[in-house]
Amino acid sequence: MDDKETEAAGERHRVIAMDGPAASGKSVVGRRAAERLRILFVSSGEMYRAAAWRAARAGIPWDVEAEVVACVRSADLRLEQRDGWIRLLVDGQDPGEELHSAEVNRGVSQVAKMPGIREILLGLQRSCARWGDLLMEGRDIGSVVFPETPYKFYLDASESERARRREAQGQEDAVGERDRMDSERSVAPLCVAAGAIVIDTTSMSIEEVLDELVRRLRQQGFTSA
């Protein structure tokens, strides 16, 4: 069944869109919120990371767009549901922790601004809504991937706090530079989607963000299955 047929059959599930800059808390809060609400979790950032990972493994430099796109297009990309997550398998493999290597951190924003890459991943991201109610985190989920969903959030935090969080995770990641590339690109830039609820997490604990998110969702009538 393709996307149109699924929609026609009324099988689209509820989607919570969660966007924001790097290290704003989307992954950890998104994962925990999905667990609490008993819905699926999807990291669209990991899909862009998987694309960058495949290009790196093939030895393709980040700036050779046509080759990066051809490399990702020729891969066998499949979604798999495991432990409440929908993940992208690349040629039957889950790249796991390699998705967060310093090399992928360095190249992923360049790969994510390529229209050919975004087109490939957009179809996969939208198809996730056939699997069940879900929370998807990313940069353009409320603005481009699922603009029709009423449940939209934008998590933010100061740049220094976000850099501190990455360092505390032991990760080499130039968050400010990535944000600039993600916000300034021409296709699907990072932005606050129309109607999104903004939560500044700079001085909030994960628990506090989680409680606020679930409270706002309840206000909007989103209840667990």
* Interacting residues toward ligand DC by CB under 6 A: 22, 44-45, 48-49, 108-109, 112, 138-141, 178, 182
State which residue, 60 or 142, has the beta carbon closest to ligand DC: 142
Query: In 73-124, which ranges are E strands?
Result: 77-82, 85-90
CA 84, distance to chain mean position in Å, is 15
User: At its nearest, how many Å lie between ligand DC and the CB of residue 13?
Assistant: 19
CB of 204 to ligand DC, least distance (A): 19
- Nearest distance in Å: CB 49, ligand DC: 6
Encoding tokens for residue 206? 């994960």
Q: What is the 3-state secondary structure (H, E, C) of 25-79?
A: CHHHHHHHHHHHHCCEEEEHHHHHHHHHHHHHHCCCCCCCHHHHHHHHHCCCEEE
Q: Which is nearer to ligand DC, 190 or 213 (CB)?
A: 190
The bridge status of strand 85-90 relative to strand 77-82 is antiparallel
Residues 6+ apart with CB under 8 A from 117: 48, 51, 68, 69, 72, 111
Residues 6+ apart with CB under 8 A from 73: 116, 120
Q: Minimum distance between the CB of residue 218 and ligand DC, rounded to whole angstroms?
A: 26
Closer residue to ligand DC (CB): 48 or 53: 48
CB of residue 32 vs ligand DC: minimum separation in angstroms? 16
Return the number of the residue (52 or 217) whose C-beta is nearest ligand DC.
Answer: 52
In terms of CB distance, is 32 or 139 closer to ligand DC?
139
